[in-house]
Every structure is written in C-alpha cells, then in structure tokens.
Amino acid sequence: MTETPTRLREYEADLVVESVDQAADGVVVLTLSHPAGDALPPWTPGAHVDLVLTPDLVRQYSLCSSPTDSHRLQVGVLRAEDSRGGSTFIHDNLVVGSTVLTRGPRNHFPLVASPRYLFIAGGIGVTPMLPMIEEAVATGADWQLVYGGRSRASMAFLPILEQYGDRVTLLPRDEVDRSLSQRIDDLLGTPTSGTLVYCCGPEPLLSAVEQACTSWPDGTLHLERFHAKASEEGQVDTSFEVVLARSGLTIQVSADESIFRAVEGVGIPVLGSCHEGVCGTCETVVLEGDVDHRDVVLNDSEKASNETMMVCVSRCNGDRLVIDL
C-alpha cells in the first residue's frame, strides 16, 4: 500500500477579490486574499485552485502569482468563446470586494527538479508558467519559454516575460510566418536528455506536443489539461464491485453510475469537485484491482502504477477494486 492515504479534507475559504486587472484582451487577473488577512495555504508552481462560482459552477484555474506571497493568490482568466459558464461568470460578476469560495491549492502539474526546461504555452496556458519560471530562475536552471497566441494584444503577461530577453520566444499568429503549432516538430523533433518539457494550452497544442514527445525519454513531458478528454471509441461501462477498505463496506457500482456517486450513496465521505476527471480532488488510493483510468490528471506512468485513481470518472477493468475509502 502506498504510504499517503486518500485525502478527505482540504483548505476551503471565502476569499475576497482584492483587484481585477486587465492582463490582455479578454483576460483578467484576479487577486484573492483572506478577508481577515490570514495567511493562505502554501503551494508550489503548477498548482491550481477551484473557484466555486455557484454551487453547480466550479472551475479550476492555475495560480500565476508567486508562491513566496503567502497572503495573495492570483489567477488569470480568459473569457472563453466556448465558455461553459465559468469564465463568463467571472468576467461579468466578480468585482473588487466580491467573495469567492476557493478550494485548494492542489498540484498535479509540479515542477520536477531539472537542469533544463522547455516551457510551451498556448494562450491562457501561460498562467502556470510564471511561477515555474520564477522557480527555474531561483534554482539556476537553464530554461526557454515558447509562447503562442492570437496576437500580442491577446497575450497576457508580456511585460513580465519580456524582462527575460531571449529566453522567451513570443509567437503572435498575426506577426509570425509560422505559428506555435506549426513549430512543434522544430522544437521537439530531436529528443534531448536532461530537458523536461512543460506544456499548457488548448487541446490541439497539447495533443501535438504529446505526439512529438513520444520518442523522448520517459518522464520528459508534463501537461496540464483543464478539459476532460472525449471518451475513447468502443469504451463500454460495466458494473463491478468496490471494496471500501477503510469503511469495511462492499458496494456494487452499476454501469450507469460513477464510483464517486456509489460511494456517496452509502454515506461514505469522499472529496470531489469537477466530476469530470480534471481537478484531481477525488484522487483515491487503490489497494487492489486493475483500474480503467479515464481522467486527465494522472500521467501515463502514474496510471500504469495503479497506485491511485480518480473515482469520479475512472472505472474497473475487471470485476473488483479495493480502494482506500
């Protein structure tokens, strides 16, 4: 059994919006602090928080401030054209003095120590790169950021990034002959040992980078997705048994329900937020059984290790799982 048990509690507080700053066309940066001035939980580069905008509207946003500031958290929010409600709500409703229930921070995109990093960001995917760059600078690592966007006006944080000179390559599509997605082969065509690749941005960019990194050493690529992946063709949901080892209960999960809902249904507490396999809140330790992983939180080697699972979406490849709940 892995030594870290399933988390059943995390920080949650109504934070106050201290400022709302326009960071680019359609992008605002919210600065959040505790109403009583209390210190906020520590976090590391790559972490995100949940903003609970309404009881049914919970969204994850990467932190773009400095982990050394223990009293303020900042998130950058793009008003997404295909918004499912979160970014529109934030842009239209949150003003200085608003409160927003905030959970976390949690980190499924941690910066692993390395002598060299290649950061690749598309659009608002640049937000987690800011604290990562701060850490890379602090540790003396060699690093490059390649940052693509629609136009300079739509690309957030340029004044901060321009200070880093030629470590940062800006690729506004309306100025360059080849966009970021057309340069993936140039960037990643030759596997290099000792370099870790961190990428955040729209799904086509993530998929292209994932594809290009298949010939790189294992563990090179670190991605962050904030949207569930489409279900795989031919994916079938079956029923199976789940043993809740801590509670001493055995439950049957039917083909049309999640483990999360089945566990909740028998009154066992389980932490959850997104219910689509993207936030990592419901990560649960697996004690026995073969998991059918369907989340976008764990990387391939974490999935292969079968140590934990996201019980909101992942299922069982056989007929029985034993989990730490």
Site residues for ligand FES per CB under 6 A? 272-275, 277-282, 295, 297, 310, 312
196/263 with CB nearer ligand FES = 263
87/308 with CB nearer ligand FES = 308
Instruction: Provide, rounded to whole angstroms, the least separation between the CB of residue 225 and ligand FES.
Output: 11
Residues with Cβ within 8 Å of 47's Cβ and at least 6 positions away in sequence, in order, are 62, 63, 67, 104, 105, 106, 107, 109, 110, 128
Instruction: Provide, rounded to whole angstroms, the least separation between the CB of residue 265 and ligand FES.
Output: 16
10/18 with CB nearer ligand FES = 10
Hey, how many other C-beta atoms are within 10 angstroms of the C-beta on 83?
Answer: 15
Strand locations in the chain, DSSP E?
12-24, 27-33, 48-54, 57-62, 73-78, 99-106, 116-122, 142-149, 168-172, 195-200, 221-224, 240-244, 249-253, 283-288, 291-292, 308-310, 315-316, 320-323
Instruction: Provide, rounded to whole angstroms, the least separation between the CB of residue 296 and ligand FES.
Output: 9
48, with CB counted inside 10 A (0-12, 13-18, 19+), is buried
| Closest C-alpha among 71, 168, 49, 84 to residue 118 | 168
| Closest C-alpha among 286, 208, 204 to residue 243 | 286
65/258 with CB nearer ligand FES = 258
C-beta of residue 314 within 8 angstroms of C-beta of residue 261: no
- 302: helix, strand or coil: helix
Instruction: Provide, rounded to whole angstroms, the least separation between the CB of residue 23 and ligand FES.
Output: 26
Calpha distance 303→62 (Å, rounded): 23
134/302 with CB nearer ligand FES = 302
DSSP string covering 97-161:
T-EEEEEEEE-SS-----SEEEEEEEGGGGTTHHHHHHHHHHHT-EEEEEEEES-GGG-TTHHHH
Instruction: Provide, rounded to whole angstroms, the least separation between the CB of residue 310 and ligand FES.
Output: 4
Instruction: Provide, rounded to whole angstroms, the least separation between the CB of residue 240 and ligand FES.
Output: 18
Q: Which residue has the tokens 């290649």?
A: 118
The CA dihedral of 237, 243, 244, 245, to the nearest 10 degrees, is -150
Instruction: Provide, rounded to whole angstroms, the least separation between the CB of residue 144 and ligand FES.
Output: 31
Instruction: Provide, rounded to whole angstroms, the least separation between the CB of residue 318 and ligand FES.
Output: 21
91/275 with CB nearer ligand FES = 275
Instruction: Provide, rounded to whole angstroms, the least separation between the CB of residue 260 and ligand FES.
Output: 7
41/272 with CB nearer ligand FES = 272
295/324 with CB nearer ligand FES = 295
28/310 with CB nearer ligand FES = 310
